[in-house]
Amino acid sequence: MQLGKLQTILLIIACILILFGYLRFITDKNGRIDLDNYRFTGGIGIVLIGLIEGSRDLLRQQLTNKALSSLVIYCGILLFYISF
């Protein structure tokens, strides 16, 4: 019974981390999200390009905004992997 609760908590935390990283990628410099641009695709292209650039920054050991967003998404994915 306790394992199920722990797994649920890990999954919720993983969802929050992935959503947080995703929203950091699609916001502009003023912190706003232009929903008209992301109506059909959800900004997946921007997020994937941001993940690639953020991963490159992480490998160069530079701590940029994209690197932090990538790191948050990777932590969320890792929590998903651990909980299943």
Give the C-alpha separation, 19 to 69, whole Å: 10
**pLDDT of the residue at 33:** 79
Domain regions of the chain by residue span: 2-29+36-83
Q: Express each pLDDT in 26-80 by its tens digit.
A: 887 888 877 776 777 777 888 899 999 999 999 999 999 999 999 999 999 999 9
Q: How many residues does the chain have?
A: 84
Structure tokens at 52: 């690639």
Amino acid letter, 67: A
**Reduced to 3 states, what is the DSSP secondary structure of residue 64?**
coil
Q: What is the pTM of this model?
A: 0.85
